[in-house]
Amino acid sequence: MANRPLNVAVVGATGAVGVEMLKTLEKRNFPVKELRLLASARSAGKTTQFKGQTYTIEELTPNSFQGIDVALFSAGASISREFAPYAVKAGAVVVDNSSCFRMDPEVPLVVPEVNPEDIKKNKGIIANPNCTTIIMLVAVKPLYDLSPVKRIVVSTYQSASGAGAKGMDELWEQTKVVQAGGKAEPKVFKWPYAFNVFSHNTDIGENGYNTEEMKMVNETKKIMHNDNIGVCATCVRVPVLRSHAETIVLEFEDKVTVEAALEAWKKAPGLTVVNDPAENHFPMPCESNEQYNVLAGRIRYDISAPNSLAFFVCGDQLLKGAALNAVQIAELL
């Protein structure tokens, strides 16, 4: 990690991911010289703590980035589209957590445990992948290195934090209402969230896949530099507060044994193996909450197809799925 102190801006500092970015910068002792916290006009004037100091949130404007070395963006695609060019023009490198630049061929899409070398190709902007893609590929890459993956079938169990603080609040409030005998009234989501599971709340395309699912398809091909890898994703919301879980089936070109896969995982960065069949103990959201590592386990042969393994992963959507990945990119810079 760089020791040279850097001037850092956090855009969207009051949002769920922005708050985690600040905590992560502090916990990892990122060399911050000057910190600038930026948000919308309605959040300007609020204060927050960082390393024992009080900082005042400033309104984001085109002139917010003078003297900034690294700008961490987590305020949505429209904000990134409008303001990231100002940050680059001012001399900053932008690490963007939105979907805005992910599929731009000029912008590296990076998971530090998977394709750190792509950072060198940046022209001022580096994109953070979608949370589900990050969590999946941290576990897939060590196995891909044993034998190229031909096909991925993935089903996600996505938490409320993927929709930010408002999504988490909706789950909390609806749970209380239903427990008290009332009826859940959806506001953030179209369907009741408490005690319910529903297809991910993004638009369905002409091919029958929703936006979230196609992010996993397209981002995986880009990050792995493999347009031939097949990805079939089904993305679902579950009533969990902040960690995403995923069921993954990989089809390899050659046979990969369960034993070899477990050994590869144990040596891999960013992964913790949770695989105890005797105790039926495998990755769970409650154990991945506030953890930097992705949990991987429940690994077994896919008995329906040759050269295939099935397994289960969990990862903190706000951390490895968002804030931590962005800070790790900044560390590599």
Strand partners, 235: 156
Which of 100, 235, 244, 314 is catalytic? The answer is 244
Helices 164-179 and 16-27 cross at an angle (nearest 10°) of: 110
Q: Do the domain assignments include residue 293?
A: yes
Q: What percent of the chain has pLDDT over 70?
A: 99
pLDDT for 4 equals: 85
Catalytic residue chosen out of the listed positions 100, 131, 235, 314: 131
Verify whether residue 244 is a known catalytic residue: yes
The helix (H) or strand (E) run that includes residue 315 is strand 308-316
**Averaged pLDDT, 266-289:** 98
pLDDT of amino acid 60: 97
Q: Which of helix, strand or coil describes residue 4? A: coil
**pLDDT 10s digits, 119-158:** 999 999 999 999 999 999 999 999 999 999 999 999 999 9
CATH number at residue 266: 3.30.360.10
Same domain, 170 and 275: yes
Residue 1 has pLDDT above 60, yes or no: no
3-state secondary structure of 19: helix
Asked if pLDDT for residue 2 goes beyond 70, the answer is: no
CA–CA dist 170, 75 (Å, integer): 20
What average pLDDT does this structure show over 45-65? 96
Report the number of distinct structural domains present in the chain.
Answer: 2
CA dihedral 267, 113, 318, 330 (to 10 degrees): 130
Domain that holds residue 99: 6-129+323-332
Based on the fold, state whether residues 96 and 244 are members of the same structural domain: no
pLDDT for 191 beyond 70: yes
- Same domain for 64 and 162? no
Strand 271-273 to 294-301 pairing: parallel
Q: Is residue 190 part of a domain?
A: yes
> Would you say residue 179 lies in a domain?
yes
Tokens of 296: 């991987």
**Token digits for 40?**
């919308």
Tell how far CA 255 is from the center of its chain. 30
1 lies in a domain? no
Looking at the structure, tell me whether residues 148 and 203 fall in a common domain: yes
Question: Is 131 labeled as catalytic in the residue annotation?
Answer: yes
Whether 100 contacts 70, CB under 8 Å = no
- One domain, residues 220 and 301: yes
Task: Name residues whose C-beta falls within 8 Å of residue 315's C-beta, 6 or more positions apart in sequence.
Answer: 131, 134, 135, 138, 243, 244, 288, 293, 294, 295, 321
**What residues contact 19, with CB distance under 8 A and at least 6 apart?**
13, 48
Decide: 295 and 320 in contact? Cβ < 8 Å: no
Residue 232 shares a structural domain with residue 86 = no
In a domain, 10, yes or no: yes
| Three-state SS at 137 | helix
Over residues 205-212, mean pLDDT = 97
Instruction: Indicate whether 15 belongs to any domain.
Output: yes
Are residues 165 and 61 located together in one domain of the fold? no
Which of 7-11, 15-19, 270-274 shows the lowest per-residue confidence on average (mean pLDDT)? Answer: 15-19
Q: What does the angle CA 220 – CA 225 – CA 229 come to, to the nearest 5 degrees? A: 55
Residue 43 counted as domain residue? yes
140 and 280 in one domain? yes
List, for residues 215-265, the tens digit of each pLDDT value: 999 999 999 999 999 999 999 999 999 999 999 999 999 999 999 999 999
Please indicate, yes or no, whether residues 70 and 205 belong to a single structural domain of this protein: no
What is the rounded CA–CA span in Å between residue 127 and residue 118?
11
Q: How many CB atoms lie within 10 A of CB 103?
A: 15
pLDDT of residue 167: 95
At 297, the pLDDT band (50, 70, 90 cuts) reads very high
Closest C-alpha among 46, 93, 129 to residue 317: 129
Residues 106 and 151 in one domain: no
Regarding whether 118 and 157 lie in a shared domain, the answer is no
Task: Indicate whether 70 pLDDT > 90.
Answer: yes
Q: Residue 232's pLDDT is what? A: 98
The 3 state secondary structure assigned to 245-271 is EEEEEEEECCCCCHHHHHHHHHHCCCE
**Tokens coding 133:** 């893609």
For residues 169 and 97, membership in a common domain is answered with no
Q: Is residue 47 part of a domain?
A: yes
Buried b (16+ CB within 10 A) or exposed e, 208-247: ebbebbbbbbbbbbbbbeeeebebebbbebbbbbbbbbbe
Cα separation, 160 vs 135, whole angstroms: 16
Q: What local confidence, expressed as pLDDT, does residue 301 receive?
A: 98
Q: Which amino acid is residue 84, in one-letter code?
A: A
Model confidence pLDDT, tens digit, residues 304-329: 999 999 999 999 999 999 999 999 99
